């Protein structure tokens, strides 16, 4: 365990469902702007490109696309896409098509993701049931699993690319996720383990600062539901 590790958490760049509010888009990919944002992020974090020891990501299309673009220099140094660690536990929360990943066989046949190690994608990882269900208690347990996984790594600087809703749960403290604590697209934040809790099951994180963001604030599926209940998404943006 390396409780002194730097944990770099990154939200994916702009994806199609972020701008259309169409949650029926299967495994929503990046928009053309999102691809530009992800590529633009790389030169904004030159020191991190030199220092990162491990790059991990949710296996959804938009996070994979962001990871490959935003951390291209680091991946070249580390040995290429095969060095990316897929963490299905960091997939997005809700059981809607845009937040549901494709099967392992579909990803294997996608030339954009050639060379990735898909071994972590076990049967049912994208089922949105059981351990993968969107219920609050289940999601909190999954977020805690991610924190324990990060704690158990030996690397000194770890990048994890994920999604707005699951990131909110991963960085939550004992009182739960902060209401309205949204992440911008392609936003990079630095965390460490809270010394008081690092040895426990929850092993809460302590934010050290926001490094940068290459995109703006585009809502997640959960944020859209909240805004809609308050008077409509378009009204609030």
pLDDT at residue 29 greater than cutoff 70: yes
pTM score: 0.92
How many other CB atoms are there within 10 angstroms of residue 171's CB atom? 21
pLDDT at residue 100, rounded to an integer: 98
200-227, pLDDT tens digit by residue?
999 999 999 999 999 887 877 776 654 4
Strands (DSSP E) contained in 39-186 are 54-57, 85-86, 157-162
Q: Report the distance separating Cα 215 and Cα 140, nearest Å.
A: 27
pLDDT at residue 2, rounded to an integer: 56
pLDDT at residue 3 greater than cutoff 60: no
Task: Determine contact, residues 58/95, Cβ cutoff 8 Å.
Answer: no
**DSSP string for 1-62:** --TT-EEEEEE---BHHHHH--TTSTT--B-HHHHHHHHHHGGG-HHHHHH--EEEE-SSHH
64-100, pLDDT tens digit by residue?
999 999 999 999 999 999 999 999 999 999 999 999 9
Residue range 141-145: mean pLDDT, rounded: 98
Going by pLDDT thresholds of 50, 70 and 90, the confidence category of residue 233 is very low
Task: Determine contact, residues 52/77, Cβ cutoff 8 Å.
Answer: no
The mean pLDDT value of the chain amounts to 91
Fold topology of 6-236: Rossmann fold (3.40.50)
């Amino acid at each position: 365990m390396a409780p002194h590790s730097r944990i770099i958490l990154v939200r994916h760049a702009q994806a199609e469902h972020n701008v259309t509010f169409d949650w029926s888009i299967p495994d929503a990919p990046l928009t053309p702007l999102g691809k530009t944002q992800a590529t633009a992020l790389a030169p904004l974090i030159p020191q991190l490109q030199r220092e990162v020891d491990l790059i991990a990501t949710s296996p959804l299309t938009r996070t994979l696309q962001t990871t490959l673009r935003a951390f291209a220099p680091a991946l070249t140094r580390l040995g290429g896409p095969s060095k990316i660690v897929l963490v299905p536990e960091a997939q997005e929360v809700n059981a809607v098509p845009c937040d549901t990943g494709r099967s392992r066989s579909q990803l294997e046949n996608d030339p954009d993701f050639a060379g990735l190690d898909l071994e972590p994608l076990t049967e049912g990882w994208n089922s949105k049931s059981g351990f993968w269900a969107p219920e609050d208690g289940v999601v909190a347990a999954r977020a805690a699993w991610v924190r324990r996984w990060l704690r158990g790594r030996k690397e000194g600087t770890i990048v994890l690319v994920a999604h707005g809703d699951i990131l909110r749960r991963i960085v939550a403290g004992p009182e739960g996720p902060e209401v309205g604590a949204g992440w911008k697209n392609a936003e990079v934040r630095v965390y460490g383990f809270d010394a008081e809790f690092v040895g426990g099951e929850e092993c809460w994180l302590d934010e050290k600062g926001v490094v940068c963001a290459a995109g703006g604030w585009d809502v997640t599926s959960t944020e859209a539901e909240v805004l809609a209940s308050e008077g409509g998404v378009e009204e609030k943006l």
